[in-house]
A and B are shown apart, each in its own frame.
Chain A
Amino acid sequence: MGVRSILFETLEHAGEPGVAEPGHFRDLNLDQIVRAATEAAGAEAVAPYFRRPLRDPGLVAFRQHIFRDLEDPAVRRVAERFTASVARTRTRLEALARRKHPPQAHRWFLEIVLDYTAAVSGLAEGLDTSAATSPGLRALRDDVAEHVRAAPFGALREGARRLRDRLGEVRYDILLRGDQAGVAPHDEDGRFDYTERVLATFERFRQEPPPEEHEDTAPALGLDVVEAGILDLVAELFPALFGDLAAFHGAHRDFVSAEIVRADRELRFYLGYLAFLAPVREAGMPTCYPAVSATGGELLARDVYDLALAAKLAADGGRAVTNDLRLDGAERVLVVSGPNQGGKTTLARAFGQLHHLAALGCPVPGQEVRIFLPDRVFTHFERRETFGGLASKLEEELLRMRTILEHATPRSVIVLNEILSSTTPDDARLLSEALLASIVRLDAPCLWVSFVDELSLMSPTAVSMVGTVAGDSTTRTYKVVRRPADGRAHALAIAERHGLTHAQIIGRVRR
């Protein structure tokens, strides 16, 4: 029996070979999100998992349940300890190949084995005592526990522990005089507390309480000629022990299991995304597990935002503006218009991200999200760069729109941002109208950022959203709402914003 996948619920490898980045990633800033999450995961090999949206609501729920488990800090710590150990094992084995002095190399090998075996059994034990309830993590727990119980693993672990204990008991004395270093068996009756005596003498001048004990710093490199020379003397002092150590290294060279390596990679998909999300959540941005369906174009989402932007803002302690999205009944097209820099493009990205991230089984930026799993996401964003080539910009845009409409199905999601800006307003309106008619016929959900205000009036399935200004001129924030709103601030309203009304102050001052 092997270790089952916690991404695909199966025993076989899935999504292993590199899937190329889809075309809409850049428009939606999903490339930034994936890059950041992959970086947080600490393994480039995780990236292809983010490029494979799911179409099966059951599998999405399977992943969501694992995510929810890992939200629990106790469960997450178990997983993180494991992935950190596997990474450490990898780098340390690479470093070991460069160690030439046998008594050193054998000892390092022993440490690596100890760390690895502790990591693997720690994963099974940690998951078992944790509150994890997802079928995915429970299967992982069972499979890894089985792996640990099997004979090869047990022999490896026990052999390593015995050697470690014997090495830990070794004591010897060193005498440094001139250019000589001598080694002798430890003198049990000697007083080796000279340092404490020095400290005690001057202790009375201490102004601060004593600091924590410091750890011995491990030498990052191998031993130098003197340390190695002394080690050889110590090996002479304890010949049987050092013989057994060498034999252990020879017997267990390839001890890392491929299944454990894959479990590590799959866990990193979850941990990387959550780690990427953490500062965004800390900045106060809401996230949620969407209710997903395989059919229907219905959409309900409160407080959505561009996750890539929010991550950037959170790095400086800022927050992104959130908006509500809704497509009821027959509504299919959200037409977004309003002033420049009013957060329209951001909303378009958020709309697209929401669909993709939901289909990965990930928590999404927003609250109370109900969304369906699209077969594909199509985007068309205005590009600043010119396409120095055969087609004019307008022609290129129309060609691109034709491709989208040819490939899209009623289950696709379309995101259009400020297209057709290179032509006259009249032409743009005419073309937009025609494109809208096609999209409406297709019946696919679409978010369209357009400067053609009246576009939303052209079809009953289109809904208008307008970017509006909230707050006063100094703390301007943009909300994109279904109908425009306006309001002017008055002195007490300003005071209220600073929490300085009578009632607010009474509530704030600690008593």
Chain B
Amino acid sequence: MRPGLLFAGDGAAPPADADADDLQLDGLWAAMARGDEGLYAASRTVTLAPLTDPAAIAHRQRVLGDCLENPSAVRSLHALATEAVTEQQRIFHGATFSRSLRMLEQSCGQLRRLRDLASGHARAFRSPGFTRLFASLRTELDEDYLRGAEALLDQLQFEHGILAEARLGPGNSSTGFRLHEPPGKGRDPSVRRFRKSGLTFTAPADNEESWRALPAFRNHVLADVSRAAADSAAHVRDFFLALRDELGFYVGCLNLAESLTGLGLPICMPQVGDPAPSARNLYEPCLALLRGGAVGNDLDAAGAALIMVTGTNRGGKSTFLRSVGTAQLMMQCGMFVPARRFAAPVAHGIFTHFRREEDRSMSSGKLDEELARMSAVVDRLSPGALLLCNESFASTNEREGSDIAAEIIRALTGLGVRVVFVTHLYDLARRMHADADPGRLFLTTERDAGGEPTFRIVPGEPSPTAHARDLYTRVFGDA
């Protein structure tokens, strides 16, 4: 029995690509978690593993749709799953076997509560994910089943002895135990023949070794059933864990949605698989929550393989780049997107190559480090991927940096990798522009009439004025 809210089938999470630090996903997870560690972990796990199958994304979008319409029911289901896990974690006394039995006894009650809660809400949910979950809770956890399980747990106390078949193992030890149903009270027919055989060993009462050996032997005989009980307890706990974590992701989505709409910011379900990326009022959610508002951007990339963003320092380039990456990632996780409207193709891997703060010195060691990181990205890239570069190759001089970047951009876009490249390298931007390739979109920072940045990113050709060194040359003349 699987919750099936994150994956319709037996889908396993794909490996993560995007660099969480580069996209500052930490802020996103914190907003989803609202201080709850479990929600943080659930949000993190899911967002680090974006999907690529549009059907799988749609599955989550529909589950999320149910959640947005029934927030309180989803929150109480999540609370119940969380409570069940916490209660089970509290049982840590006793030997493995008796602990497993107690956990299973407790699980029966928790499963009953879950079934009842679910059946109360079932009618309001329409997504295939929830419908299937609720149906299986109803059919698999019916009262007959739970009563039968409880009776079995009772028998497992072995009050009237243990009966097992055995054979000879290593060193002629008794092994290969196969357990018979526990004998009942008194002269159970299954034990009568032991009196007939007359072969009985009584553990010497005055012997310390036999005090230890007898329970040890008992444990040995019960090893399989004990393992079965432990496995069973783990299965039930894993079910609750999975339910808690899967619901946790959606509760995280609810939290984020409430915070954003509370600030009057738009959210939307994205159109998955549109070959021409476009957006209206796209913003970066973490910064928006921090600032209490956001500057949104519109984007119409048509089929551009390369989007190159140039412009003033502190003009909103990096924020724009992160908003593109975050929206793409959220879309592929089945989440809503922080925009009024958002459409994009599915990226087969979202990769980042951001300048690291410590990379600003001009030593070849830093350049080597940057190249090594890019090389690691190339190792994992495949056509259809999205690569976000922020000030890449600024750790060497402009000429060298541009040479290297041009080489990489041309190769990757030629291979069908979408590249969004934020750069200060005017030489690079100029060269890319001069290629006159229609598959390239050039954006730049916008200024208002007074020359102050609006923090909006708009179409615009690379201009040398943006670059500090050129600015210096312009102001002071050729040195």
Contact = CB atoms under 8 A, between A and B. Distances in A.
Interface of A: 99, 103-104, 106-108, 111, 167-168, 170-187, 190-195, 197-199, 201-208, 214, 216, 218-219, 222-227, 229-234, 236-237, 472-475, 489-492, 494-495, 497-503, 505-506, 508-511
14 contacts: A173-B180, A183-B200, A184-B194, A187-B190, A187-B193, A192-B179, A226-B217, A227-B173, A234-B172, A473-B364, A491-B401, A500-B375, A508-B378, A509-B417
Contact of B209 (A170, A225, A232, A503): A225
Contact of A500 (B162, B175, B404): B404
B165 A198 contact: no
Given A190-B165, A223-B173, A492 B181 contact: no
B160 A194 contact: no
B184 interface: no
B368 interface: yes
Given A173-B163, A174-B166, A509-B383, A500 B235 contact: no
The 10 closest A-B pairs by CB, nearest first: A202-B232, A491-B400, A192-B178, A505-B411, A177-B161, A205-B235, A229-B201, A182-B194, A184-B197, A226-B213
A207 B235 contact: yes
B168 interface: yes
A474 B371 CA distance: 13
A494 B404 CA distance: 9
A225 B408 contact: no
B209 to A, nearest CB: 5
A224 B209 contact: yes
B97 to A, nearest CB: 11
B264 interface: no
A494 B167 contact: no
Given A194-B182, A226-B214, A498 B225 contact: no
Contacts of B428: none
Interface stretch (B25-33, B236-244, B247-255): B236-244
A474 B162 CA distance: 70
B239 A207 contact: yes
A174 B203 contact: no
Given A194-B181, A201-B148, A499-B375, A506 B171 contact: no
A242 B176 CA distance: 20
B216 A226 contact: yes
Contact of A181 (B196, B201, B400): B201
Contacts, number: 281
Contacts of A170: 167-168
Nearest to B233: A202
A494 B371 contact: yes
A227 B152 CA distance: 29
Contacts of B232: 198-199, 201-203, 205
Interface in B335-386: 364-365, 367-368, 371-372, 374-375, 378-379, 381-383
Contacts of A198: 152, 156, 225, 228-229, 232
Given A107-B172, A494-B371, A511-B383, A176 B161 contact: yes
Nearest to B158: A176
A482 B202 CA distance: 85
The residue among A226, A233, A236, A510 with the most chain B CB atoms within 10 A of its own CB is: A226
B375 A181 contact: no
A272 B166 CA distance: 42
A199 B228 contact: yes
Given A174-B174, A177-B160, A226-B217, 14 more contacts: A106-B172, A107-B171, A180-B201, A181-B200, A183-B197, A183-B199, A201-B148, A202-B104, A205-B232, A216-B176, A218-B170, A491-B401, A498-B371, A502-B410
Given A231-B173, A234-B168, A191 B181 contact: yes
B55 interface: no
Contacts of B161: 175-178
A172 B193 CA distance: 12
Contact of A193 (B178, B204, B207, B374): B178
Given A103-B172, A216-B176, A505-B412, A175 B214 contact: no
B169 interface: yes
Interface of B: 1-2, 104, 140, 148-149, 152, 156, 160-183, 190-191, 193-194, 196-197, 199-205, 207, 209-210, 212-214, 216-218, 221, 224-225, 227-229, 231-233, 235-236, 238-239, 242, 364-365, 367-368, 371-372, 374-375, 378-379, 381-383, 396, 399-401, 403-404, 407-408, 410-412, 414-415, 417
B151 to A, nearest CB: 10
Contacts of B364: 472-474, 489, 494
A185 B197 contact: yes
Nearest to A472: B364
Nearest to B407: A502
Given A223-B171, A224-B216, A227-B174, A505 B378 contact: yes
Contacts of A103: 172
A405 B151 CA distance: 92
Contacts of B202: 179-180
A199 B231 contact: yes
Contacts of B396: 491
B367 A233 contact: no
A509 B407 contact: no
B382 A207 contact: no
Nearest to A222: B171
A214 B223 CA distance: 11
A412 B183 CA distance: 84
A504 to B, nearest CB: 8
Contacts of A474: 364-365, 368
B46 to A, nearest CB: 16
Given A184-B199, A227-B174, A207 B242 contact: yes
Contacts of B231: 199, 202
Nearest to A110: B172
Contact of B171 (A108, A171, A176, A191): A108
B411 A171 contact: no
A494 B174 contact: no
The residue among B175, B177, B217 with the most chain A CB atoms within 10 A of its own CB is: B217
Contact of A506 (B196, B235, B238, B411): B411
A503 B149 CA distance: 65
Contact of B199 (A190, A199, A233): A233
The residue among A167, A176, A494 with the most chain B CB atoms within 10 A of its own CB is: A176
B326 to A, nearest CB: 25
B199 A505 contact: no
Contacts of A236: 199
Nearest to A501: B407
A509 B156 CA distance: 58
Contact of A505 (B190, B403, B415): B415
Contacts of B191: 175, 177
Contacts of B379: 508
Contacts of B412: 505, 509
A175 B163 contact: yes
